[in-house]
């Protein structure tokens, strides 16, 4: 089958869960015998307008776009939707609620050429603090367009599945994300040492430095800890939130035990995650966090806020939960985690086994192909690659 993809910024993935999702799934679909065209933003790829290139078998088409906060995604998604109407596709797959604002456009094509439309919701993006009122309104309209016009909606968490049913009485297909495989890392921990870190003696926050992920809460909680021989490392870049990053640095008060490592990739990221004694994600809002799945896969103990997405992943025996947004609860649960290493090690082992059994990219790819095939009335292709990660 021939699939068009609209919404991701581009490939290869530089940052962002959607881009990493697409970099894992669509090359596998190509290996399984399908054709995939992904419409990207030239502002992300830094490649000329309309120029095409190949990424692991996926044809990437660069559309005109501009570095305009809140507008860039809508411009490229509109142009991608128009481009789809000029082509011949079996399935058009929109990723995220903002791009889904235009999911009705392919439905205007003549019946003989009309593709099936799939929308994937990775999270309720209109709730994110970085968006102003105008952008949030457009994203919310995209959500409604998906509920009205998409032939199928897939969601990455049970929380989102319940939301669409309660809000729109719309059934969805639950297909969770899966963790990426980390690169080999330095067993001597040289990069970690250069940051002043000691193996298994630091808490890591990994994600974009945005308000809804609550790194501010984590910093405040860490400052109140009694256990002073640990450090806190914040790994991640900004996403239209540079002012918020400055607030975090001020909140850290230039303390030597709070380290801003910036955005890390490849071997350096793998080294810092694997060396952590505790992975902390205090978010108020998540779809299904890839960073947490990756830490679980690596066997790193987990502490997280008790939002539904995190409860789904951690259950009662795979990590420690604290009350979302509650500073005192966060402090108490961090202190408990650092004081009970054997319990945390057992939970980390349970989490590692759980991820290996339930969250793989082969399974995600197969389930997406099943959705496509069901819409087209055909049998899905099961000849999927066995490798965990495909490289361009």
- Structural domain boundaries of the chain? 2-178+360-376, 190-357
What percent of the chain stands above pLDDT 90? 79
Q: Into which CATH architecture does domain 2-178+360-376 fall?
A: 3-Layer(aba) Sandwich (3.40)
Please provide the average confidence, as pLDDT, over all residues in the chain. Answer: 92
User: Residue 66: which pLDDT band, with cuts at 50, 70 and 90?
Assistant: confident
Average pLDDT over residues 44-58: 94
Total Cβ atoms within 10 A of residue 102: 23
| Residues whose CB falls within 8 Å of the CB of residue 243, separated by 6 or more in sequence, listed in order | none
Q: Is the pLDDT of residue 30 over 70?
A: yes
| Residues whose CB falls within 8 Å of the CB of residue 218, separated by 6 or more in sequence, listed in order | 203, 205, 232, 234, 280, 282, 330
Strand (E) or helix (H) holding 362: helix 361-376
Both tokens of residue 380? Answer: 């899905």
pLDDT tens, residue by residue, 201-254: 999 999 989 999 999 999 999 999 987 799 999 999 876 667 898 999 999 988
Query: Which range, 29-33, 45-49, 136-140, 238-242, is most confident?
Result: 29-33
For CA atoms 152, 155, 161, 164, the dihedral sign is negative
How far is residue 191's CA from residue 66's CA, in Å, rounded to a whole number?
35
The C-alpha R_g of the chain, in whole angstroms, comes to: 21
pLDDT tens, residue by residue, 76-102: 999 999 999 999 999 999 999 999 999
Q: Are 36 and 29 in contact (CB under 8 A)?
A: yes
Q: Do domains 2-178+360-376 and 190-357 have the same CATH topology?
A: yes
DSSP bridge pairs for 5: 38, 93
End-to-end CA, the chain: 21
Q: What is the CATH number of domain 190-357?
A: 3.40.50.2000
């Amino acid at each position: 089958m021939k699939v068009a993809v609209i919404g991701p910024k581009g490939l290869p993935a530089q940052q962002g869960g959607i881009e990493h999702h697409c970099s894992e799934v669509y090359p596998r679909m190509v290996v399984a015998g399908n054709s995939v065209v992904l419409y990207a933003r030239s502002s992300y790829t830094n490649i000329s307008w309309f120029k095409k290139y190949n990424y692991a078998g996926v044809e990437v088409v660069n559309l005109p776009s501009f570095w305009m906060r809140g507008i860039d995604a809508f411009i490229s998604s509109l142009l991608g939707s128009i481009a789809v109407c000029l082509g011949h596709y079996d399935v058009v797959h929109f990723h995220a609620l903002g791009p889904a604002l235009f999911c009705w456009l392919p439905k205007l094509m003549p019946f003989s050429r009309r593709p099936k439309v799939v929308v994937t919701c990775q999270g309720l993006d209109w709730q994110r603090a970085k968006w102003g009122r105008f952008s949030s309104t457009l994203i919310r309209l995209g959500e409604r367009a998906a509920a009205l016009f998409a032939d199928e909606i897939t969601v990455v968490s049970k929380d989102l599945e319940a939301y669409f049913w309660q809000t729109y009485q719309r059934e969805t297909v639950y297909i969770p994300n899966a963790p990426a495989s980390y690169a080999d890392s330095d067993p001597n921990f040289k990069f970690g040492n250069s940051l002043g870190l000691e193996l298994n003696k630091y808490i890591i926050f990994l994600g974009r430095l945005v308000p809804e992920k609550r790194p501010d809460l984590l910093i405040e909680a860490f400052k109140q800890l009694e256990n002073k021989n640990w450090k806190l490392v914040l790994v991640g870049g900004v996403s239209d939130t540079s002012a918020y990053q400055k607030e975090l640095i001020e909140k850290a008060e230039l303390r030597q035990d709070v380290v801003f490592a910036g955005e890390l990739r490849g071997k350096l990221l793998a080294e810092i995650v694997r060396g952590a004694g505790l992975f902390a994600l205090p978010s108020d809002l998540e779809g299904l966090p890839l960073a947490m799945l990756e830490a679980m896969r690596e066997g790193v103990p987990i502490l997280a806020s008790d939002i539904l997405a995190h409860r789904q992943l951690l259950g009662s025996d795979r990590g420690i939960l604290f009350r979302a947004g509650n500073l005192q609860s966060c402090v108490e649960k961090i202190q408990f985690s650092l004081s009970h290493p054997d319990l945390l090690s057992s939970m980390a082992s349970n989490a590692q086994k759980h991820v290996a059994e339930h969250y793989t990219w082969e399974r995600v790819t197969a389930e997406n192909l099943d959705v496509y095939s069901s819409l087209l009335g055909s049998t899905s292709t099961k000849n999927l690659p066995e490798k965990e990660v495909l490289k361009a």
